[in-house]
């Protein structure tokens, strides 16, 4: 049963903003987060990107702001500049939809620190930023942590991966004990547990299962790369799938630039997102991506994490990620809101371990190649391995049937092997007949 924002204890001003944003019904994460957040409960929220998570916390926290107090009341901490910039744009949008005198500032590295310090002399109500730069300003007493009433920590598991959790620890250590803390994370790794225990008293744990791996929504295709260039295979695939927006993942920022250049050389309209972009480039690129300027976007996991890229119809893994969780995050960028999507992964033999782990997690891969401008089914990635395993099992079963010789005579090894081969042949014949009976339903 669908709910309405009017059913929550929101002010008329906030309901007006929600209406102006075009939101009719709250998403699952918004339904679960908004009521306890309005009651100032501490929250641990687990959900994937694209579930409406950002507004799940912005709506209740905005509704608690007191515009008459010229002090920083809400702090939103993110692991990457790109994510901070995206959230900041959402914050500015909400401020522009009201007559309230709310103010906000973006506090990230790679910008003019002295100029930003001057702007912070008049404390904004909301600060969105990265942990290192926020901690710098707190230590220099430019940001006053004692006035902060709410703290949001977004993409917390990525803070662990990037080694930034200690900086966040140092920020929260300077807050009042009764500060409301909302932590959002796709996963809760072991390294995050001590932090959560330390700073969140009696938190409400909210987990939203988005069924990212649902076979009805998402098709997973594997293409053996062999000796080809990824750009060449992606170009061929694009002629067959005609993506609305294709998000192409690589494992390193250097590879992102190389692949983007190769795709541009082939005439494709390509944007690129990675941590090596200069602040002005990042801002322009994110703006262009949101405006659907590019049909193809090459990105690294870290840069794309948490950034909502609209209209993604296809995900390409130009390089298979190093772990299962990264694959799940990547492919979750398509097949949103019940729509269909396709994830196409190019692989080398070195990637087979991760592919096997993904299959053990329930993902079913379709194995294809592209030949003469058409999709062509090919042998399964592990067919040879399975065949070798089956042969070994048949050998073991056949050897058990071979009678051991009490008296050893010349040529006995050869005779025993011949017997084994005969039994193995019989076993194969039995398997074949059994398989045919099952097909016929006998």
Relative to beta strand 365-371, strand 341-347 is unpaired
Q: What is the pLDDT of residue 215?
A: 45
Judged on CB neighbours under 10 Å (0-12, 13-18, 19+), 122 is exposed
List pLDDT tens digits, range 218-254: 889 999 998 899 999 999 999 998 888 999 999 998 9
- The number of CA neighbours under 13 Å toward the Cβ of 433 is 6
User: How long a stretch of residues is the chain?
Assistant: 442
Q: What is the pLDDT of residue 81?
A: 85
Residues 6+ apart with CB under 8 A from 45: 29, 32, 33, 53, 56, 57, 182, 183, 184, 185, 206, 207, 208
| SS3 label, residue 404 | coil
- Give me the sheet containing 374-377, strands edge to edge: 270-273, 296-300, 246-250, 314-317, 341-347, 218-224, 365-371, 374-377
210: left (phi over 0), alpha (psi -120 to 50) or beta: alpha
CA–CA gap between residue 88 and residue 286 (Å, rounded): 12
What are the tokens at 38? 């309005």
Mean pLDDT, the chain cut into blocks of 10 residues (442 residues total): 83 93 89 94 83 90 92 94 89 92 91 86 94 93 94 89 88 91 86 88 83 62 92 94 91 93 94 83 84 91 74 91 84 65 90 88 88 88 58 71 68 73 74 59 52
pLDDT given at position 212: 46
Which residue in 118, 128, 61, 57 sits closest to 89, CA to CA? 128
Distances (CA, A) of 33 to 9, 194, 206, 348: 13, 23, 7, 42
Residue in the block written with tokens 């079963």: 397
Q: Which of 3, 154, 158 has its CA nearest to residue 90?
A: 154
Q: Are 130 and 81 in contact (CB under 8 A)?
A: yes
Q: Does residue 340 sit in helix, strand or coil?
A: coil
Output the CA angle 423-427-432, nearest 5 degrees. Answer: 150
Helix H or strand E encompassing 167? helix 165-172
Could you report how far apart the first and last alpha carbons of the chain are, in Å?
46
Tokens for 383, please give them.
């067919």
Q: What gap in Å lies between CA 194 and CA 199, rounded to an integer?
A: 9
Where b means 16+ CB within 10 Å and e means fewer, 403-414 reads: eeeeeeeeeeee
Contacts with 3 (C-beta within 8 Å, 6 or more apart), sequence order = 25, 26, 31
- 284-330: per-residue pLDDT in tens? 888 888 888 999 999 988 767 767 777 888 999 999 998 887 888 78
Question: In degrees rounded to 5, what are phi and psi of residue 331?
Answer: -70, -20
Question: What pLDDT shows up at residue 107?
Answer: 94
| DSSP helix/strand/coil, 239 | helix
Q: Round to whole Å and give the CA distance between 330 and 348.
A: 18
């Amino acid at each position: 049963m669908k709910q309405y924002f009017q059913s929550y204890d929101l002010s008329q001003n906030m309901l007006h903003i929600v209406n102006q944003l075009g939101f009719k019904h709250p998403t699952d994460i918004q339904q679960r987060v908004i009521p306890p957040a309005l009651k100032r409960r501490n929250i641990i929220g687990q959900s994937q990107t694209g579930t409406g998570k950002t507004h799940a916390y912005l709506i209740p926290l905005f509704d608690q702001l007191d515009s008459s107090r010229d002090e920083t009341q809400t702090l939103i901490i993110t692991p990457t500049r790109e994510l901070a910039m995206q959230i900041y744009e959402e914050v500015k949008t909400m401020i522009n939809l009201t007559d309230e005198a709310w103010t906000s500032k973006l506090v990230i590295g790679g910008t003019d620190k002295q100029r930003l310090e001057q702007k912070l002399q008049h404390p904004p109500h909301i600060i969105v930023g990265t942990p290192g730069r926020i901690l710098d300003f707190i230590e220099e007493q430019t940001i006053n942590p004692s006035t902060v009433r709410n703290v949001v920590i977004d993409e917390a598991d990525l803070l662990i991966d990037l080694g930034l959790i200690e900086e966040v620890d140092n920020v929260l250590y300077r807050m009042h004990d009764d500060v409301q803390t909302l932590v959002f994370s796709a996963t809760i790794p072991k390294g995050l547990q001590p932090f959560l225990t330390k700073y969140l008293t009696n938190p409400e744990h909210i987990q939203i299962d988005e069924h990212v791996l649902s076979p009805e929504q998402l098709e997973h295709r594997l293409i053996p790369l062999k000796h080809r260039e990824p750009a060449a295979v992606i170009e061929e695939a694009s002629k067959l799938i005609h993506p609305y927006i294709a998000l192409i993942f690589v494992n390193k920022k250097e590879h992102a630039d190389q692949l983007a250049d190769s795709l541009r050389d082939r005439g494709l309209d390509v944007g690129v997102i990675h941590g090596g972009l200069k602040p002005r480039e990042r801002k322009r690129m994110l703006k262009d991506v949101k405006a659907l300027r590019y049909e193809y976007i090459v990105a690294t996991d870290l840069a794309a994490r948490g950034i909502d890229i609209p209209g993604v119809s296809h995900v390409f893994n130009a390089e298979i990620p190093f772990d299962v969780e990264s694959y799940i995050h990547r492919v979750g960028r398509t097949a949103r809101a019940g729509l269909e999507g396709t994830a196409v992964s190019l692989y080398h033999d070195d990637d087979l371990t991760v592919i096997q782990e993904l299959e053990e997690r329930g993902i079913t891969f379709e194995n294809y190649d592209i030949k003469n401008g058409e999709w062509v089914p090919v042998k399964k990635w592990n067919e040879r391995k399975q065949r070798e395993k089956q042969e070994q099992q048949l050998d073991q079963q056949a050897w058990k049937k071979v009678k051991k010789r009490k008296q050893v005579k010349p040529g006995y090894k050869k005779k025993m092997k011949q017997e084994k081969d005969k039994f193995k042949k019989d076993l194969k014949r039995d398997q074949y007949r059994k398989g045919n009976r099952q097909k016929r339903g006998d």
